[in-house]
Structure 1
Amino acid sequence: MQLSDVSAAIVTGGASGLGEATARRLAQAGVKVALFDRDTARGEAVAADIGGLFCAVDVTDEATIDAGLEKARAAHGVERLLVNCAGVAPGKRTVAKKRDTGALVAHDVETFARTVQINLVGTFAMIAKCATAMAGLDPVTADGGRGVVVSTASVAAQDGQIGQAAYAASKAGVVGLTLPVARDLAGVGIRVVTILPGLFETPMFASVPEDIRKALEAGVPFPSRLGKPSEYAALVTAIVENDMLNGETIRLDGALRMQPK
């Protein structure tokens, strides 16, 4: 499938970071892009800048997903590309010690469940709803291709660090979805691929002290730096244009293997 075949795309988490970079790259290629995000101010600004459409969507809220899809399709038509970038990354140990009293406390279930709900359930909800609409489109490739889904996991899915139980489990779930969903959707010509980014220059790193940032960069074998969101976006477009990429997870990490902490 060529980018010119992608008349419309939806990018969740499109107001910042990897999602924003992807939305910008797609828009530059002439794709009509709808940004799904909870950050209205930032989302509307990015959408205005790229000539796209902002939809206030919380991927844990099915009603807002449905409203966002209705708005996006009314403006752009049915999407041929879904890029799932919405996510959260809390840091909590399974058992921690309070600094003031030394008492041991368990990781709260609410944080764990919320992380899974956003990162995993939200990703699946978007896939199921978008794939249903894509399946009704006419094929645009000789093989019968109708659409592409790209989801975002993390190297933490395979190398989860101390304090990443919730995050790693949710992202491992996204990895686990990839092959069975690709098989589910093979009959209707929709490909499914997941990217596992390593350390990237996203808003999460904006407040990281310079010394810690340099230490993190030094741990990446080559290139020894944080990844650029534009590099993630470039991989998304490469996936779209390579029809044999399906049911696969791809690490994008400069050969990084995360240490326990």
Structure 2
Amino acid sequence: MKLSNSTVLVTGGSSGLGGATVRALVEAGAKVVIADVNIAAGEALAAELGDAARFVPTDVTDEAAARTAVDAAVTLGGRIDGLINCAGIVVASKAVGRQGPHDLASFTRCIQINLIGSFNMIRLAAAAMQAQDANDAGERGVIINTASVAAYDGQIGQAAYAASKAGVVGMTLPLAREFAKTGIRVLTIAPGLFETPMMDDLPEAAREALGQMTPFPARLGKPQEFAALACHALGNTMLNGETIRLDGAIRLPPK
């Protein structure tokens, strides 16, 4: 898939990993639909990027909103070539803590947004991709999800988050196999510790300490590094059905 003149939908595209990916795609000549619940940030980014970007307020767990975002991508570029799922939340709580059992509502919300929300976008985007013509390589579209190294190395207090991301990893291969016959590739990126809005509330000393946990480079990952891998995955036709750890060789300790 060539990025130039392609149309890509990015969920969680207003900031963080999604925002960096939106910028990289536009720089490469793509048209991008920014789908996010953060209206102010999404509108500001779209205004900054001009005609190549459009913001659509999107709760990925809502079927109507998700369908509207997919339709917006088709309208913007005449087709939807890529979906990159970056929308997600973090929940940190022990299964049984000092205040008692894990709040079930927060566990459910984490699964709903990170896993079910990703699948909601996938099923709708894939349906639109299957209805369009294939390119010269036989591709009709590419889907890239965002997991986490917590899917493999979940720490104490990450039961909800790790479970949601493990679900994303687990559906990657079945979806790639299902969509192979129509020329749609499915991939997942599992980042390690990255500079994202989730880290913004931490003191600088804490951020540096987290970065030092990564063997090399001993720092937090940069959103632009995630974006670079996502752009490469869109263009590399042989990448399919795989989860790629982007983590500087980190393996999270128990806590």
- How many matched pairs? 253
Unaligned runs of 5+ in 2: none
Q: Is the 8 A contact 2:33 2:72 kept in 1?
A: no
Q: Which of 118, 126, 130 in structure 2 is aligned with 1:123? A: 118
2: CA distance, partners of 1:141 / 1:88: 37
CA deviation after TM superposition for structure 1 residue 120, in Å: 0.3
Aligned match of 1:111 in 95, 98, 106? 106
Superposed, 1:75-154 pairs within 5 Å as 75-98=76-99, 105-142=100-137, 144-154=138-148
SS across alignment from 2:94: coil
Please show how residues 111-260 of structure 1 align to structure 2 within 5 Å.
Answer: 111-142=106-137, 144-260=138-254
Compute the displacement of 1:77 (Å): 2.2
The alpha-carbon deviation at position 225 of structure 1 amounts to: 0.4
Give the equivalent residue in structure 2 for 1:3: 3
Counterpart position of 2:36: 37
Per the TM alignment, residue 2 of structure 1 is displaced from its structure 2 partner at its CA by: 2.1
The CA deviation at 1:140 is: 1.1
TM-score, with normalisation over the residues of structure 2? Answer: 0.97
CA distance in 2, matches of 1:71, 1:244: 28
Percent identity, please.
56
- Deviation above 3 Å: which 4+ runs of structure 1? none
CA positional deviation for 1:218: 1.2
SS of the residue 1:19 aligns to: helix
The CA deviation at 1:226 is 0.4
Contact 1:55–1:72 under 8 Å retained in 2: no
Amino acid at match of 1:33: V
Give the Cα separation in 2 of the matches to 1:20 and 1:2: 20
Q: Contact 2:148–2:192 at 8 Å: present in 1 too? A: yes
Within-5 A mapping of 1:12-91: 12-51=11-50, 52-91=53-92
CA–CA distance in 1 between the matches of 2:128 and 2:208? 45
Q: Which of structures 1 and 2 has the bigger CA Rg?
A: 1
Q: Distance in 1 between matches of 2:224 and 2:76?
A: 26
> SS of the counterpart of 2:178?
helix
Secondary structure, in 3 states, of the residue corresponding to 1:10?
Answer: strand
| RMSD of aligned residue pairs (Cα, Å) | 1.0
CA distance in 2, matches of 1:17, 1:77: 27
Aligned match of 1:101: none
Whole-angstrom CA distance in 1 between matches of 2:240 and 2:18: 21
For residues 160 and 212 of structure 2, what CA distance do their matches in structure 1 show?
26
Mapped to 1, the partners of 2:221 and 2:136 lie a distance apart of 32
Gaps (5+ residues) in structure 1?
99-104
Q: Distance in 2 between matches of 1:139 and 1:200?
A: 35
> 1:74-100: per-residue Cα shift (whole Å, max 9, x none)?
2332210000000000111100013xx
